[in-house]
């Protein structure tokens, strides 16, 4: 959902509940105060999605996934960022541009606002020279890319708040034979969610 798609009545209701001044938000947008205006939009969209029941958690994903979790992440290639967030036996994998980091300076070369997890993951694999033969959008390719990217992650975790589109969910028990080999890279994980981040806010850092 985009900010412009939020119904006017719901927009006013949510803004009142969140104590956000729409006139102030409009003024900020006109003045190109990107940080404040984008933050206001994010809060409103997140709250609307939550009210409509389309936002879930890592363990119970819906169309969207949101949370406040410890994550490993790395800027791996060409402005691509990968985040790994584990909750129970589920692993959330988010890939996208560094522009999704709230408060982070955007790289000179960006994916664009409408980049999706698959295209970001495929580009990351190309930049890292990860070889894989087969369907470029297959589950096996996704698992191979994530398994490779895991080796690049720094040995610490950072708390993040995030909202992402849950683009695909794969399960170990239903994996095809050709993808079973890649599951060895994810011990104690029964399902993996591939998500495209709408925003990621960085918090404190903890050593693993």
Q: Is residue 154 scored above 60 in pLDDT?
A: yes
Most confident by average pLDDT, 26-35, 104-113, 149-158: 149-158
- The percentage of residues in the chain with a pLDDT greater than 70, rounded to a whole number, is 47
- Whole-number average pLDDT of the chain: 67
Annotate 147-182 with b (16+ C-beta within 10 A) or e (fewer): bbbeeebeeebbebebbbbbbeebeeeebeeebeeb
Structure tokens at 197: 């981040």
pTM higher than 0.85 for the full model?
no
Q: Is residue 72 scored above 50 in pLDDT?
A: yes
- Nearest residue to 123 via CA among 113, 110, 139, 133: 110
CA–CA separation, 39 vs 29, rounded Å?
11
pLDDT of residue 86: 92
pLDDT of residue 196: 82
Who has greater pLDDT, 1 or 166? 166
Q: Is residue 90 scored above 90 in pLDDT?
A: yes
Q: Which residues face 5 on adjacent strands?
A: none
Q: Is residue 18 scored above 50 in pLDDT?
A: no
pLDDT of residue 115: 39
pLDDT of residue 89: 92
pLDDT of residue 114: 34
Q: What are phi and psi of 121, to 5 degrees?
A: -65, -45
Q: Is residue 156 scored above 90 in pLDDT?
A: no
Residue spans per domain, the chain:
3-51, 56-207
CA–CA separation, 175 vs 177, rounded Å?
6
Who has greater pLDDT, 167 or 85? 85
pLDDT confidence bin for 2, thresholds 50/70/90: very low
- Nearest residue to 73 via CA among 15, 164, 9, 149: 149
């Amino acid at each position: 959902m985009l900010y412009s798609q939020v119904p006017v009545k719901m927009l006013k209701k949510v803004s009142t509940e969140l104590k956000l001044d729409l006139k102030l938000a409009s003024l900020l947008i006109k003045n190109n105060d990107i940080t404040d205006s984008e933050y206001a939009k994010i809060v409103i969209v997140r709250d609307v999605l939550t009210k409509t029941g389309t936002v879930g958690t890592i363990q119970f994903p819906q169309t969207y996934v949101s949370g406040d979790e410890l994550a490993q992440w790395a800027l791996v290639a060409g402005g691509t960022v990968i985040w790994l967030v584990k909750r129970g036996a589920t692993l959330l994998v988010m890939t996208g541009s560094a522009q999704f980091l709230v408060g982070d300076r955007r790289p000179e070369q960006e994916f664009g606002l409408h980049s999706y997890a698959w295209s970001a993951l495929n580009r990351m694999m190309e930049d890292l020279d990860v070889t894989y033969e087969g369907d470029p959008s297959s589950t096996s390719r996704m698992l191979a890319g994530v398994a490779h990217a895991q080796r690049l992650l720094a040995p610490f975790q950072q708390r993040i708040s995030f909202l992402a589109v849950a683009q695909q969910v794969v399960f170990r028990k239903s994996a095809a034979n050709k993808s079973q080999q890649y599951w060895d890279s994810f011990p104690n994980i029964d399902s993996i969610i591939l998500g495209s981040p709408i925003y990621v806010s960085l918090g404190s850092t903890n050593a693993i």
